[in-house]
Amino acid sequence: MRDLSADKKDAARGPRLGRVLIRLWPYIWPRERADLRLRIFASLALLTLAKLATVAVPFAFKWATDALVALRAGDASSLSLLAAPLALTLLYGALRILMAGLTQARDAVFADVAMNAVRRLAVDVFVHLHALSMRFHLERKTGALTRVLERGRNAIETLTRMVTLNGVPTALEFALILGVMFFQFDWRYAAITTGTIAAYLAYTAAATNWRIGIRRSMNESDSDANAKAIDSLLNYETVKYFGAEQRESARYDRSMERYERNSVRSYVSLAVLNFGQAFIFTLGMVAIMSLCVKGISEGRNSVGDFVMLNAMLIQLYQPLNFMGMLYREVKQAIIDIDMMFDILETPNEIAEARDAPALVVKAGDLRFENVHFAYDPAREILRGVDFEVPAGRTLAIVGASGAGKSTISRLIFRFFDPQQGRILIDGQDIARVSLESLRGKIGMVPQDNVLFNDSVRYNILYGRPDATDAEMRAAAAQAQIDTFIESAPGGYDAQVGERGLKLSGGEKQRVAIARTLLKAPPILVLDEATSALDTFTEREIQGALDEASRGRTTIVIAHRLSTVVNADEILVLDKGRVIERGGHESLLAADGAYAALWRRQAREEEELAASPREEAPMAESDEDSLRRDRDEALLRASEI
């Protein structure tokens, strides 16, 4: 069910139509694109000519009719009398062709304007999303953001095309017809036409608002039925285990019953809308034509006038028939575009000065000075952290979950800024240098490496797109992934799948190490880079990580202490404070928190070694692979 707050939010957006149009105007009227502005003028000219031709069509019909009446009254064998109706009939056909040609030409000319606005605004929002801080992305659902982008793109196209190609032409046509009614006939014709159109539009707006609520209920019931179907199919085995096929069918049928009921209401409401529109318009048309019949009987009008009025009003009815859809679509488009502008107006928490200098790394010395940080003011994560990593040395940071280890890596990349204290690289405060130069000098291998749905080559070259093929292969060899890649079908052009799902955890991690090595950063951060892997895979990858760390200032954030025994210095974090520091042997000798963690992990490894285990990990079976692919496809379908 849609809650009241959502309805209030939509209502609050109503008066923001002017704001949306003002913000959208620079995209429709780009100052730097004289060619697009010229297209707008050309579209308006074609629009005016098309509507003049549209209004002229009934006149040609009238003249042909009057000529035929005169022909019937005169000598039917006279070629001169016959030529006039034929010529006017040809004129009628030519005007209709001209009307259609001008209309299509207008649409084609304006297409560049509309789609350029769509592209520019979508790119601006996309760039801004990447510029926003990690806090923004942690608090928002990725699916919701992509839906805002998708709906916003469609809304811009809807607003520009429907208003320009439907709304404005209909308004112009109505103005021209009103002028014809007033000057060709009299004020009564114009008054009836105006009253009919006003009643028609008022009824359309009221009925469309009523239908929006019905369609929303229909869409919600459709989503509910789809969600239940996806949930049941994802749990196929569970359904079979408990023999619940009939129960699941009944559950799905209840959802479909609601969808059926709401769909019927939607179709009935559409019928009511269409009938009401036809009823109002027909009343007005009959009133106008009745006036014309009276005028014919009094000798003030001709039969051609009667035919012209009928043709003119029928021509007007066709675009008016789309007003309900236009009203609904424009109303929704305003909401969707407004949401895009809300994103564009979201301030960036991590800002940089326009004249911020580039970070210059000569050695790679990294220092934290009394750093305090909290995601939420009520819960401080880091409390006065101080440490220094000399150039080319390795510092390990260990501690229990929630101690603040990964927060340190986020602060180094400046995903967040500390509330107090400074972070320095070669004496330069990272808050005062450009973000691009800062992040260009730091390499990161996180715990969960997500790859792009592209080739192995693309994912490794992501570290440095301009690298040569030889450099890419050297990085792969250094990460100990080259043999696997070359033996795989497709080699470096093999596709890794969405989020790298076609690769094992160890293979993904090696690809991530290779792209970081290719980036060749002077500072390297390994944020629990092996904690998600089994012990066997971890030992294989540890060699690649040691190779990656050689000659670089390295911070290793680790859960397994066996991976940090060779670090130059180890920090033990607890509740955001450094409680111990030193080398592996000295910390064991101190018999403190580090020694306790070491003994606990040693016992766990001994218990694991004593338990029965397979000699080698089993490969994923075809059945498991198919099940995984099915589940992923169903999940993607549920998101759509």
Cross-strand pairs, 468? none
Contacts 24+ apart (CB under 8 A), 98-103: 98/53, 99/50, 99/53, 99/54, 99/57, 102/46, 102/49, 102/50, 102/53, 103/46, 103/50, 103/169
Note the pLDDT of residue 458.
87
Note the pLDDT of residue 636.
45
pLDDT at 639 over 70: no
Note the pLDDT of residue 535.
66
Q: Tens of pLDDT along 568-581?
A: 888 888 888 888 88
pLDDT-based confidence at 6, cuts 50/70/90?
A: very low
Retrieve residue 509's tokens: 């991690």
Helices of type H across 132-185:
134-139, 142-162, 168-180
Percent of the chain with pLDDT over 90: 1
Provide φ and ψ at 429, rounded to 5°: -65, 120
Note the pLDDT of residue 616.
38
Retrieve residue 574's tokens: 């607890």
Hey, what domains does the chain have and what are their CATH numbers? 13-344 (1.20.1560.10), 357-441+521-614 (3.40.50.300), 456-516 (no CATH)
Task: Name the residue with higher pLDDT: 614 or 567.
Answer: 567
Q: Tens of pLDDT along 265-296?
A: 888 888 888 888 889 888 988 888 888 888 88
pLDDT at 430 over 80: yes
Contact 572, 412 (CB under 8 A): no
Contact 317, 281 (CB under 8 A): yes
Location of structure tokens 């006036």? 291
Q: What is the SS3 assignment for 439-473?
A: HHCEEEECCCCCECCCEHHHHHHCCCCCCCHHHHH
Provide φ and ψ at 362, rounded to 5°: -95, -40
pLDDT-based confidence at 325, cuts 50/70/90?
A: confident
pLDDT at 226 over 50: yes
Note the pLDDT of residue 505.
73
Task: Name the residue with higher pLDDT: 566 or 606.
Answer: 566
Note the pLDDT of residue 414.
86
pLDDT at 321 over 80: no
In the sheet that holds 553-557, the strands lie side by side as 442-445, 523-527, 553-557, 394-399, 569-574, 577-582
Residues 6, 80: Cα–Cα separation, whole Å: 71
Q: b vs e for 134-148, b when ≥16 Cβ sit within 10 Å of the residue's Cβ?
A: eebeeeeeeeebeeb
- Largest Cα–Cα separation, the chain: 126
Note the pLDDT of residue 637.
44
Comparing CA positions, the residue from 413, 617, 614 lying closest to residue 527 is 413
Note the pLDDT of residue 330.
77
Retrieve residue 33's tokens: 């694109």
Task: Name the residue with higher pLDDT: 177 or 4.
Answer: 177
Q: Kindly give the pairing relationship between strand 394-399 and strand 569-574.
A: parallel
Note the pLDDT of residue 26.
81
The letter for the amino acid at 334 is I
Mean pLDDT of 219-228: 79
Please, which residues have CB within 8 angstroms of residue 331's CB and are 6 or more apart in sequence? 212
Residues 222, 266: Cα–Cα separation, whole Å: 13
pLDDT-based confidence at 319, cuts 50/70/90?
A: confident
Residues 569, 397: Cα–Cα separation, whole Å: 9
Q: What is the SS3 assignment for 201-234?
A: HHHHHHHHHHHHHHHHHHHHHHHHHHHHHHHHHH
Taking the alpha carbons at both ends of the chain, their separation in whole angstroms is: 19
SS3 call for 351 = coil
Please, which residues have CB within 8 angstroms of residue 524's CB and are 6 or more apart in sequence? 442, 443, 444, 445, 516, 548, 549, 552, 553, 554, 555
pLDDT at 608 over 70: no
Contact 528, 558 (CB under 8 A): yes
Note the pLDDT of residue 598.
86
**What helix, strand, coil percent values describe the chain, rounded to 5?**
70, 10, 25
Note the pLDDT of residue 1.
36
Residues 619, 640: Cα–Cα separation, whole Å: 32
C-beta neighbour count of 498 within 10 angstroms: 13
Retrieve residue 133's tokens: 């801080």
Provide φ and ψ at 363, rounded to 5°: -120, -50
Mean pLDDT of 148-158: 75
| Torsion sign (Cα): 130, 134, 139, 143 | positive
Mean pLDDT of 530-548: 67
Q: b vs e for 99-131, b when ≥16 Cβ sit within 10 Å of the residue's Cβ?
A: beebbebbbebbbebbebbbebbbeebeeebee
Note the pLDDT of residue 221.
82
Q: Kindly give the pairing relationship between strand 382-389 and strand 366-373.
A: antiparallel
Q: Kindly give the pairing relationship between strand 553-557 and strand 394-399.
A: parallel
pLDDT at 309 over 60: yes
The letter for the amino acid at 64 is A
